[in-house]
């Protein structure tokens, strides 16, 4: 019988890649707003911060066990 569960190493690699994606979105939307110059737009910067926090939250959820919401 095959198991559909990920082992700890697989979960950690997936979580790491999701965090890297969050970092790239943050850099693309927030850091470029700061570097580009005076017309700082809040909406892209807020979206970048929300995406970063969401990616880190999903990564934390994956590392805790994934589908085990109710303990």
What confidence tens digit (pLDDT) does each residue in 20-56 have? Answer: 999 999 999 999 988 888 888 899 999 999 999 999 9
Find out whether 51 and 25 touch, Cβ atoms under 8 Å: yes
- For the chain, give every domain's residue range: 11-64
Predicted local confidence at residue 17, as pLDDT: 95
Predicted local confidence at residue 54, as pLDDT: 96
Find out whether 62 and 15 touch, Cβ atoms under 8 Å: yes
């Amino acid at each position: 019988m095959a198991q559909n569960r990920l082992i700890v190493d697989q979960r950690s690699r997936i979580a790491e890649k999701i965090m890297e994606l969050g970092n790239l979105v943050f850099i693309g939307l927030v850091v470029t707003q700061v570097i580009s110059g005076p017309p700082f737009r809040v909406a892209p910067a807020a979206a970048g911060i929300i995406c970063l926090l969401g990616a880190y939250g999903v990564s934390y959820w994956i590392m805790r066990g994934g589908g085990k919401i109710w303990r």
